[in-house]
Structure 1
Amino acid sequence: MSLNQEKWTTCYWWNKDGCTNLGNEELQWYRPENVSLDGGLLRLQARPEKVIGFEGRAFEYTSGMVTTGRDYEELPRSSRVRFRYGHVEVRAKIPAGKGLWSAIWLLPETRESRPEIDVMEALGDSPTTLRVHYHYRDQAGEKHSVGEKVKTSDLTQDWHVYSLTWDQDRIIWYLDGKEVWRYSEAGSISSEDMYLLLNLAVGGEWAGSPSDGTKFPAEYLIDYVRIWQRDG
Structure 2
Amino acid sequence: MHLRQSITIPAILLSLCLATSAARADGPVPIAAKGSWRLIFEDSFDGPELDREKWTTCYWWNKDGCTNLGNAELQWYRPENVTMSEGLLRLTARRQKAKGIEDRTFDYTSGIVTTGRDYDELPRPSRVRFRYGHVEVKAKVPAGKGLWAAIWLLPETRKSRPEIDIMEVLGDSSSTLRMHYHYLDAASEKKSVGKDVETSDLTANWHVYSLTWDADKIIWYLDGKEVWRHTDVPTISSEEMYLLLNLAVGGEWAGAPSKTTKFPSAYLVDYVRIWQRDDG
User: What is the TM-score of this pair, normalised by structure 2?
Assistant: 0.82
Aligned with residue 8 of structure 1, among 52, 55, 76: 55
Q: Which residue of 1 aligns with 2:90?
A: 43
Q: Deviations over 1:118-173 (max 9, x none)?
A: 00000000000000000000121100000100000000000000000000000000
In the TM superposition, 1:93-172 aligns within 5 A as 93-172=140-219
Work out the CA distance in 2 between the residues paired with 1:22 and 1:6: 27
Q: Deviations over 1:51-99 (max 9, x none)?
A: 1100101100000000000000001210000000010000000000000
> Aligned residues: percent identity?
77
Number of residue pairs the alignment of both structures matches: 232
Q: Which residue of 1 aligns with 2:261?
A: 214
SS in 2 for 1:207: coil
Q: Which residue of 2 aligns with 1:176?
A: 223
Bigger strand fraction: 1
Q: Which residue of 2 aligns with 1:61?
A: 108
In the TM superposition, 1:83-102 aligns within 5 A as 83-102=130-149
Aligned with residue 24 of structure 1, among 71, 74, 79: 71
In the TM superposition, 1:68-87 aligns within 5 A as 68-87=115-134
Structure 1 counterpart of 2:235, which letter?
Answer: S
- CA drift at 1:230: 2.9
Work out the CA distance in 1 between the residues paired with 2:94 and 2:126: 28
SS in 2 for 1:33: helix
Work out the CA distance in 1 between the residues paired with 2:276 and 2:168: 23
Which runs of no fewer than 5 residues in structure 2 stay unpaired? Answer: 1-47
Work out the CA distance in 2 between the residues paired with 1:189 and 1:183: 8
Structure 2 counterpart of 1:56, which letter?
Answer: D
- CA drift at 1:186: 0.5
CA-based RMSD:
0.7
Work out the CA distance in 2 between the residues paired with 1:185 and 1:211: 40
- CA drift at 1:229: 1.9
Work out the CA distance in 2 between the residues paired with 1:74 and 1:164: 28
Which runs of no fewer than 5 residues in structure 1 stay unpaired? Answer: none
Q: Which residue of 2 aligns with 1:34?
A: 81
Structure 1 counterpart of 2:88, which letter?
Answer: L
Dislocated runs of 4+, deviation >3 Å: none
Work out the CA distance in 2 between the residues paired with 1:174 and 1:97: 24
Work out the CA distance in 2 between the residues paired with 1:160 and 1:32: 25
Work out the CA distance in 2 between the residues paired with 1:154 and 1:74: 39
Q: Which has the larger radius of gyration?
A: 2
Work out the CA distance in 2 between the residues paired with 1:50 and 1:10: 19
